Amino acid sequence: MNNKEKMIELDGAIGEGGGQILRSALTLSMITGQAFRINNIRANRPKPGLMRQHLVAVQAAAQICNAEIGDAGIGAQLLEFVPQKIKGGDYQFAIGSAGSCTLVLQTVLPALLFADKESNIRISGGTHNPMAPPVQFLQRAYGKVLEKMGASIDIQLKRFGFYPAGGGEVLAQIQPCSQLRQISLMERGERESAFAESFIAGVAANVAKRELECVGNGMGWDESQLLVRGLPAEQGPGNVLLLTLEYQHVTEVFCAFGEKMLRAEAVAKNAIQQARHYLASGAAVGEYLADQLMLPMALAGGGKFTTSQISEHAKTNAAVIKKFLPVDISFAENGSCHTCTISNQ
Instruction: Please give the positions annotated as active site.
Output: 313
**At CA 137, angle to CA 135 and CA 142, rounded to 5?**
115
**Alpha carbons within 13 A on the beta-carbon side of 188:** 22
| Length of the chain (residues) | 345
Residue 106 assigned ligand-binding role: yes
Angstrom distances, CA of residue 223 to CA of 11, 137, 219: 50, 23, 12
Residue 290 assigned ligand-binding role: yes
For residue 322, which of 125, 28, 14, 4 has the smallest C-alpha distance?
Answer: 28
Give one word for 330, left, alpha or beta, with left for phi > 0 and alpha for psi -120 to 50: beta
C-beta atoms surrounding 207 within 10 Å: 18
Residue 291 assigned ligand-binding role: yes
CA pair distance 17, 41, nearest whole angstrom? 8
Residue 245 host element (H or E): strand 238-247
Mode of pairing for the β-strands spanning 184-185 and 302-307: parallel
Binding residues: 106, 288-292
Binding region for ATP: 106, 288-292
